[in-house]
């Protein structure tokens, strides 16, 4: 098969999946007023492969087989760059909101391929390859449920007063395992074909039941998805992005879910859990920064435009702020390109440079709120005091708005920009992006820890010791 059409993707979502939204069971995710918007947003991934403008980037040809380029296993720095460009192009088409139904799943698959190729589980590797081939050939959409609900953060999984705070194996049968617990913040689960479940941290011998990785269909009995309503509704005038684009996160509960052996990649393996958790984020933070680029472009582009619309683009303080913003955006872009360029290879699979990827993600997250401040500063208070879509639609009221909201540019253009900036920085969508910046793909502290662990200090240390004339000392002693 290789490539699915958008229609096929939508059709395949009709099954018995158990999704709850605003207190009610959802009968059809595709037809639902709010979830349906998220489904259409996710379908952009299939449109990318159909659109002549993006087809070359989105479709990979290997021999006679054509398949989604997300499923292309990266073999070189150049492949990593192309993957980054594809993720950026998808997010640009999604009006700054990542699509994620193949990006995150392939991040997880590539990570597990590398870890299981280290000779520690031939059976797991074989099952993973079969799973990967099925996903690629059927062009499946994937969610990744890694983040556990975690309970008391100071305690390990096996130390929690409720043992279900991390997903665990509750029984092993001849034909598979039974799992219980819950993952949280899981993006896109209501509208994917498979959910990949990974451990969220390193495990010790006592945490053996929690050291499990597997895949399930969202329609599997016992899988229950409780969807967040954070992004809902909106008028196209005041919410030009979120009225058309959404991503849904769920509390994903595994209520004694049976998983057959062929979908279990490992279990009872504390030695693999931490390695998979860490290797996954090596890819996923690279994905993250790639999908942040359209958002950053939208921020600086709209800041420049609103400065002109307000008539302040020649003011020195505005130029100073825009220069800072441009430097921030291009630093993040440059770092992610460098992470691909410095990519390394393990078992024939390329991965982005770990330190540089984390530096890129940290740089993005550290200064994102400052970037929002700069754009809000230049735009002005209309971001939260402007007229509603209903006012703009009113033949009686609109002339008043057109007269009094004109700046250096006419009111319709200025308000359109103002509303875009309001969405990006001040309304629900802006809040969603602000939290996404800090927490998604791991917290800021997790990025700094990864930088600390992966920094190669040896050359600089040796140089300093040599300059000090104490090169004979053993720095490890
Ligand atoms: C919009 C969105 C989409 C997401 N999508 C997905 C997804 O698709 N799949 C998925 O698996 N996850 C997803 N995530 C989860 C994301 O990776 C987590 O939010 C992130 O790992 C932080 O975890 P948390 O939210 O539970 O916060 P916490 O872990 O509770 O972190 C809160 C604070 O506590 C600190 N902290 C936590 N534990 C400790 C400790 N032991 N000691 C000291 N400090 C600690 C953290 O550094 C942070 O400052 C998503 C998150 C968001 C916001």
Give residue-wise pLDDT tens across range 242-291. 999 999 999 999 999 999 999 999 999 999 999 999 999 999 999 999 99
State in Å: Cα 436 to ligand 1 middle: 10
Residue 23, pLDDT above cutoff 90: yes
Report which of 437, 323, 440, 356 is spatially closest to residue 84, judged by C-alpha positions: 356
pLDDT of residue 361: 97
Confidence of residue 462 (pLDDT cuts 50, 70, 90): very high
Q: What are phi and psi of 196, to 5 degrees?
A: -95, 130
DSSP-derived letter for residue 148 is B
- Rounded Cα gap, residues 443 and 421, in angstroms: 25
The pair phi, psi for residue 31, each rounded to 5°, is -95, -10
Q: Convert the pLDDT of each residue in 74-91 to its tens digit.
A: 999 999 999 999 999 999
- DSSP code string of 275-337: HHHHHHHHHHHHHHHHHHHHHHHHHHHHHHHHHHHHT-TT-HHHHHHHHHHHHHHHHHHHHHH
Q: How far apart are the first and last CA of the chain?
A: 59
Helix (H, G, I), strand (E, B), or coil: what is residue 453?
A: helix
Alpha helix stretches (DSSP H) within 121-267: 122-138
Model confidence over 391-417: pLDDT tens digits? Answer: 999 999 999 999 999 999 999 999 999
Task: Identify the band that residue 382 occupies on the pLDDT scale cut at 50, 70 and 90.
Answer: very high
- Strand duo 142-145 + 194-197: pairing: parallel
Q: Which of 103, 181, 443 to mutate to test the pocket of ligand 1 (most atoms within 8 A of CB)?
A: 443
Q: What is the C-alpha to C-alpha distance for residues 186 and 168, in angstroms, rounded to an integer?
A: 17
Q: How confident is the model at residue 60 (pLDDT cuts 50, 70, 90)?
A: very high
Calculated CA dihedral for residues 432, 437, 438, 439, nearest 10 degrees = 70
pLDDT exceeds 80 at position 209: yes
What distance in Å separates the CA atoms of residue 29 and residue 9, rounded to the nearest whole number? 12
pLDDT value of position 255: 98
With tokens 């793909």, the residue in question is 441
247 CB within 6 A, ligand 1: no
Does the pLDDT at position 119 exceed 90? Answer: no
Output the pTM of the full model: 0.96
pLDDT at 120 over 90: no
CATH number for region 273-461: 1.20.140.10
Read off the pLDDT band of 185 (50, 70, 90): very high
Residue 250 is predicted with a pLDDT of 98
Residue 63 has pLDDT above 80, yes or no: yes
Give distance in angstroms: CA of 343 to centre of ligand 1: 26
Token pair belonging to 209: 């039941």
Which part of the chain is CATH 1.20.140.10?
273-461
Specify the DSSP class assigned to residue 387.
P
Ligand 1 atom at minimal distance to the Cα of residue 146: 11
**Ligand 1 mutation pick, 246, 283, 440, max ligand atoms within 8 A of CB:** 440
State whether the beta carbon of 207 lies less than 6 angstroms from ligand 1: no
Q: Is 424:433 a contact under the CB 8 Å cutoff?
A: yes
Distance 108 CA to ligand 1 centre (A): 17
As annotated, the residues of the chain forming the CATH 2.40.110.10 domain(s) are 6-272
- φ, ψ at 235 (rounded to 5°): -100, 140
Superfamily (CATH H level) for 6-272: Butyryl-CoA Dehydrogenase, subunit A, domain 2 (2.40.110.10)
Tell me how far the alpha carbon of residue 147 lies from the centroid of ligand 1, in angstroms.
7
- Ligand 1 atom with the smallest distance to the CA of 432 is 1
* CA–CA separation, 425 and 448 (whole Å): 25
Ligand 1 neighbourhood includes 147 CB (under 6 angstroms)? yes
- Please write the tens of the pLDDT for every residue from 339-381: 999 999 999 999 999 999 999 999 999 999 999 999 999 999 9
**Banded model confidence at residue 220, pLDDT cuts 50, 70, 90:** very high
Residue ranges in 4-43 assigned as alpha helix (H): 6-12, 35-42
pLDDT of residue 274: 96
In angstroms, the CA 422 to CA 313 distance is 19
Closest CA to 367 of 334, 327, 404, 405: 327
Cα 440 to averaged position of ligand 1 atoms, centre (Å)? 7
Classify 423 as helix, strand or coil. helix
How far, in Å, is the centroid of ligand 1 from the Cα of 469? 45
């Amino acid at each position: 098969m290789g490539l699915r059409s958008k229609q096929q993707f939508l059709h395949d979502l009709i099954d018995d999946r158990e999704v709850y939204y605003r207190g009610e069971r959802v009968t059809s995710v595709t037809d639902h007023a709010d979830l349906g918007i998220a489904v259409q947003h996710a379908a952009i991934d299939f449109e990318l492969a159909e659109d002549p403008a993006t087809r070359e980037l989105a479709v990979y040809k290997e021999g006679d087989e054509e398949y989604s380029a997300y499923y292309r296993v990266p073999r070189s720095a150049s492949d990593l760059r192309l993957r980054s460009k594809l993720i950026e192009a998808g997010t640009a088409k999604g009006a700054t909101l990542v699509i994620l139904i193949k990006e995150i799943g392939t991040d997880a698959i590539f990570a597990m391929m590398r870890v299981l190729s280290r000779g520690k589980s031939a059976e797991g590797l074989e099952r993973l390859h079969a799973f990967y081939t099925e996903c690629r050939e059927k062009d499946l959409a994937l969610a990744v449920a890694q983040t556990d609900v975690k309970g008391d953060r100071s305690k390990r999984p096996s130390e929690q007063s409720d043992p279900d705070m991390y997903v665990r194996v509750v029984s092993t049968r001849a034909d598979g395992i039974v799992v219980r617990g819950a993952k949280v913040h899981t993006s896109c689960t209501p509208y994917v074909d498979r959910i990949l479940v990974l451990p969220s941290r390193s495990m010790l011998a006592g945490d053996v039941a929690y050291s499990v990785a597997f895949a399930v269909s969202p329609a599997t009995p016992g899988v229950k998805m409780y969807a967040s309503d954070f992004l809902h509704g909106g008028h196209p005038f005041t919410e030009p992005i979120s009225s058309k684009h959404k991503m849904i996160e769920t509390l994903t509960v595994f209520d004694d879910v049976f998983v057959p052996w062929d979908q279990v990649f490992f279990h009872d393996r504390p030695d693999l859990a931490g390695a998979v958790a860490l290797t996954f984020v090596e890819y996923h933070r690279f994905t993250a920064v790639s999908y942040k680029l359209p958002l950053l472009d939208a921020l600086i582009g709209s800041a420049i435009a609103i400065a002109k619309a307000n008539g302040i683009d020649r003011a020195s303080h505005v130029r100073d702020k825009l220069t800072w913003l441009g430097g921030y955006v291009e630093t993040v872009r440059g770092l992610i390109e460098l992470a691909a360029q410095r990519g390394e290879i393990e078992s024939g699979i390329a991965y982005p440079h770990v330190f540089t990827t984390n530096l890129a993600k940290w740089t993005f997250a550290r200064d994102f709120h400052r970037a929002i401040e700069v754009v809000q500063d230049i735009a002005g208070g209309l971001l939260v005091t402007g007229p509603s879509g209903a006012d703009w639609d009113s033949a009686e009221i609109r002339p008043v708005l057109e007269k009094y909201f004109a700046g250096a540019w006419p009111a319709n253009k200025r308000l359109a920009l103002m509303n875009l900036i309001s969405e990006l920085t001040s309304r629900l969508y802006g809040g969603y992006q602000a939290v996404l910046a800090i927490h998604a793909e791991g917290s800021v502290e997790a990025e700094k820890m990864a930088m600390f662990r992966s920094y190669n200090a040896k050359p600089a240390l040796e140089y300093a010791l040599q300059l000090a004339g104490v090169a004979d000392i053993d720095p490890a002693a």
